[in-house]
Structure 1
Amino acid sequence: MTQGDFWVLFAMLLYFIVVLTIGFIYAKRSNSSTSEYFIGGRKVGPWLTALSAEASDMSGYLLMGLPGLAYFTGASDAGWTAVGLAIGTYLNWKLVARRLRRYSVVAGNAITLPGFYSNRFHDEKNIVSTIAALIILVFFCVYVGSCFVTCGKLFNTLFGLDYLPMMCLGAIIVFLYTLVGGYLSVVATDFVQGCLMFFALLVVLIGSVTMAGGVENVVAFLQSIPGFLSGVEIAVPVTDANGLQIVNNDSPVFGMPAEYGLLSIISMMAWGLGYFGMPQVLVRFLGIRSADEIKRSRVIAVTWVVVSLFCAICIGLVGRAALPTMFATNSAAENVFIVLSQIMLPSFMCGIVVSGILAASMSSSSSYLLIAGSSVAENIFRGVIKKDATDAQVMIVARITLIVVFLIGILIASDENSVIFFVVSYAWAGLGASFGPLTLCALYWRRLTMQGAIAGMIGGTATVLIWHNLLSPLGGIFGIYELLPAFLVSLLCIYIVSKLSPEPPAEVLYEFDHYMDDDPELEKRAAEESIAVEKATVQAIQD
């Protein structure tokens, strides 16, 4: 190991120590009850809620997937995806956050997303929550795997170490602090990680532009690549028989750009629809201490997302100008952020910056592990199997579930040639189509029935699986991102089946009609109880 590698590793080790320490700090309080372990007792302030929601959402694809996509094929795919994500983030906070926070309290004080769905319909057999929990379990295994891929690629690129053991090491660290600390440790570390990711993106973007000779030189070079900066065309790298981009006279070879039409634009912007069904984001709405603080959180969250997405795409574009022939495949191009950091920055600073990649991966995978555990333990074990289970028994089952998802995630991540962006897109579509239409209808449509909810979840999930695996390979109109048709199918199933089903019971309709009624005393008490908690959290992070 060189001296430079030592300082990079030392900086990353300090980061590990910080996140693990936060996990152990919150261990005692998190283990006091399932409410504390799964949603922090609904006492999390607006700053922690906002950065936690976005850091857990923006997994490895923010610092590796998006820059890699922009590096390899130009601005269109990555750019329109970012537009969709930014719009989706805003609409989710605007349309869902406040209503879900209030309705979850009215509907049996639900502490998980599947629990809210069942309570919304007074589903005493917990059929809705069981189906939702199983869907979460399936797609979160894929999501966790994508995060572990990020860890493996990071260490492999930085130190030349074998991918598989390095991937397992990163996975173990995430697993440990999630297992011990619960929701509060995840939220607190997400706050630190969100700040680190933001800092890393800005530093690498500014440095890479300087390295490439300034904005004018970067733009001139990229304009010479057919379709690279166009929003209605996509660059086409010319590859050899092995799938590697051809290099001629130290320049990457591109063919004629392909048309990037309206269907492709709609397909990429459809990513924004996924937010309405993302459990790792929606659970943050359940945990905020007061619905009245949603607006403040929304401003923080949207600002963070817009700036971060812009920086991530620009890093990929500038990276093509700075390192035009470095990466010959899309999978390899996902390392552009890491390589730029190595080249530009002193070793210790490089270690701090690339820890932003670990931050992205760890914040997301910890959320996925925790939500998968809470869904199975609270909604299947206590909801169906053992309804008189104690909090201690539920948390044991949750931790067993964490181990199972952790092991499946490692299995999925064992392929080092996985393209993070595409792995994430599959899980994103599955969750978005299964829960997005249901969440919106549950909050806005009085006539929604339990039968309609079940039909919507199954219809959305089935469409994603069929479209991705059978129809998408056919190309043409079937090449559209599977989230869009699956979202529409889910909505249609919800509407048709709800209309054909008997009207919801009177008590369900009464709750729907009154869940947004003001209860200032309830909100005041929740806020007063949590002020001390937020101060202690901020102080712990500062210490």
Structure 2
Amino acid sequence: MSKTDLVWVLVAFAVYMLGMLLIGFSFMRKTKNTEDYFLGGRGLGKWVAALSAQASDMSGWLLMGLPGTVYALGTGQSWIAIGLFLGTVCNWLFISTRLRRYTIRANNSLTLPEYFENRFHDKRRILLIASSIVIVIFFVVYTASAFAAGGKMFNIVFGVDYHIALTIGVVVILGYTFMGGFMAVCTTDFIQGLLMLVGLMTVPILCYAFVGPANLTDILAQTNVAGGVDSYLNIFHNGGKPFGFIDIISQIGWGLGYCGMPHILVRFMAVKSEKELKQSRIIAIIWVAVSLFFGCFIGIIGRAYLFPTILGTETTGSAENVFINMIVQLFTKDIRIPFIGGIFLCGILAAIMSTADSQLLVAASSASEDLYKGVINPKAKDKNVLMLSRIIVVCIAAIAYLIAWNPNSSIMGLVSNAWAGLGAAFGPTVLLSLYWKRANLGGAIAGIVSGGLTVIVWDYIPLVNGQTLGAVTGLYSLVIGFAISLVLIVVVSLLTKAPSAEMLQEFEDVRSGKMELE
């Protein structure tokens, strides 16, 4: 990239980052209490709710992790995208409306841990403490993945040292999240969701035109894809080998995580009305279908478009950088419009920021609203809790920053572990809390604890000849963790005292819709 091109790209980045910070500052003046800071006063419109939910979900994984794994191993990796699409659809169809109702019925719960406590009438606050700890632990890892993605992008585009690049990204994300809270995060996520979609569609289509449809398979063959072109383009093959049943189940199993993701579920809780929620559903499902398709498409087209460069070696950098390299080559060599290239690179930054900001906010809400005000100091003034929330945002960002300090950390690996932990701990509990009236406090505690611990044991503790169970079996920890959590909720609930008449009445009110929702 020439110096002139670099200047135009820098201008695009500067305009974009300044815009995000101004949004944060504008909402800071409107944030008066913790409900404003964490839920925006339940005032989200359909477009903002839909795009902010999906943008906060996909993160840098969509524009770096997914294209990179398809680039390296082939279209078999698209089973993850299929699983995530199915999970998105089920989340919007079966979770969104009931969760919004129940959080209002359950004493106007502002956070997921608070909802669990109110839903199961937990007077001892066990659920609040357990779920808050799970959120803080796994969201620190999740936020680290977004920070790492930002550092890698700045490093590649501008040649800036990874650690300096990491610091720049963290400061900007932290700035508008600290100032504006939930509405700032959702508004920036809405803008970032649109930018991500435009970039996802435009860049691979233009690159495909440069490659030429007739030349695609020939060029792919020259890149020495594992197993040959037919295997590379076969959805039932992975890295040149046939995909096994466990492999497919593990990748589709990513979809199970959706019903346990606090940063996504909180959007359902914050929508203005059920009418808005139904309209958001359509927007979100279309967005995610298009985005996931083009995320996979980028991996395939990028392999041909960037040839003779083949990513994934010591000299060329990670395959996760394929989309970044495509944008740089397209807009500084083939089409010389570097400012537009800079805007599309901001789309990758948008994906990174839209997830990191949401995770920071949810983790802070668990630590301040749930742990501090809920357990340590119930009489704390709202103004003090709001200030503490902002301080905790900074502390969590600092820890995630240290985790992301290693430039060799895998974005895909960090996201995979965090997604599994949150999905297994909370997914079954959310699902059964909404649809099974016999679920009780004991079952909920068993589900959250067993789901989170299963993922930790499965992914991190070497129990078989120095290897983890995940490495030995090849089964994604979310699948086994979700199953164990679901079974234990049912078994423990049936073996312990049935829910009270009051809890059963609340369940029926939500199920029937006989309640004031607006």
1:464-483 to structure 2, matched below 5 A, reads 464-469=455-460, 470=462, 473=468, 478-483=473-478
CA apart distance, 1:375: 1.0
CA apart distance, 1:516: 3.3
Q: Is the 8 A contact 2:246 2:474 kept in 1?
A: no
Task: List per-residue Cα deviations over 1:309-339 (Å, max 9, x = no partner).
Answer: 1111111111111123331249711111111
Equivalence for 1:300: 283
Identity rate of aligned residues, in percent?
43
Equivalence for 1:193: 192
Q: 1:220 to 1:152 in 2, by over 3 A?
A: same
Equivalence for 1:434: 425
Matched, 1:285 2:289: no
For structure 1, list consecutive stretches of 5 or more residues without a partner in the other structure: 236-256, 527-543
TM-score normalised over the length of structure 1: 0.89
**SS at 1:334's partner residue?**
helix
CA apart distance, 1:215: 2.2
Equivalence for 2:378: 387
CA apart distance, 1:476: 7.5
For structure 2, list consecutive stretches of 5 or more residues without a partner in the other structure: 332-336
Partner AA of 2:52 in structure 1: S
Q: 1:316 to 1:172 in 2, by over 3 A?
A: same
Equivalence for 1:35: 35
**SS at 2:497's partner residue?**
coil
Partner AA of 1:171 in structure 2: V
Equivalence for 1:127: 126
Matched, 1:506 2:490: no
User: Distance between the aligned counterparts of 1:27 and 1:474, measured in 2?
Assistant: 46
User: Distance between the aligned counterparts of 2:118 and 2:410, measured in 1?
Assistant: 38
CA apart distance, 1:156: 0.6
> Could you tell me which of 213, 223, 233 is aligned with 2:237?
233
User: Distance between the aligned counterparts of 2:404 and 2:210, measured in 1?
Assistant: 33
The number of residue pairs the alignment matches comes to 499
User: Distance between the aligned counterparts of 1:437 and 1:317, measured in 2?
Assistant: 35
CA apart distance, 1:211: 2.4
Task: List per-residue Cα deviations over 1:375-423 (Å, max 9, x = no partner).
Answer: 1111111111111111111112212221221011111111111121111
Task: List per-residue Cα deviations over 1:251-296 (Å, max 9, x = no partner).
Answer: xxxxxx2221221111100000000100110000000011232221
> Could you tell me which of 310, 318, 338 is aligned with 1:326?
310
TM-score normalised over the length of structure 2: 0.94
> Could you tell me which of 217, 220, 226 is aligned with 1:219?
217
Equivalence for 1:137: 136
Q: Is the 8 A contact 1:223 1:229 kept in 2?
A: no
Equivalence for 1:5: 6
1:358-397 to structure 2, matched below 5 A, reads 358-397=349-388
1:43-62 to structure 2, matched below 5 A, reads 43-62=43-62
User: Distance between the aligned counterparts of 1:364 and 1:18, measured in 2?
Assistant: 17
Equivalence for 1:492: 487
User: Distance between the aligned counterparts of 1:513 and 1:180, measured in 2?
Assistant: 40
1:395-410 to structure 2, matched below 5 A, reads 395-410=386-401
User: Distance between the aligned counterparts of 2:119 and 2:213, measured in 1?
Assistant: 53
Partner AA of 1:215 in structure 2: P
Q: Is the 8 A contact 2:204 2:302 kept in 1?
A: no
Matched, 1:148 2:132: no
Partner AA of 1:335 in structure 2: N
User: Distance between the aligned counterparts of 1:355 and 1:464, measured in 2?
Assistant: 34
Q: 1:76 to 1:329 in 2, by over 3 A?
A: farther
Q: Is the 8 A contact 2:196 2:347 kept in 1?
A: yes
Q: Is the 8 A contact 2:458 2:469 kept in 1?
A: no
Task: List per-residue Cα deviations over 1:121-169 (Å, max 9, x = no partner).
Answer: 1223322111111100000000110000111111110011100011111
Q: 1:475 to 1:108 in 2, by over 3 A?
A: closer
Q: Is the 8 A contact 1:446 1:512 kept in 2?
A: yes
Q: Is the 8 A contact 1:437 1:490 kept in 2?
A: yes
User: Distance between the aligned counterparts of 2:213 and 2:453, measured in 1?
Assistant: 46
Equivalence for 2:165: 166
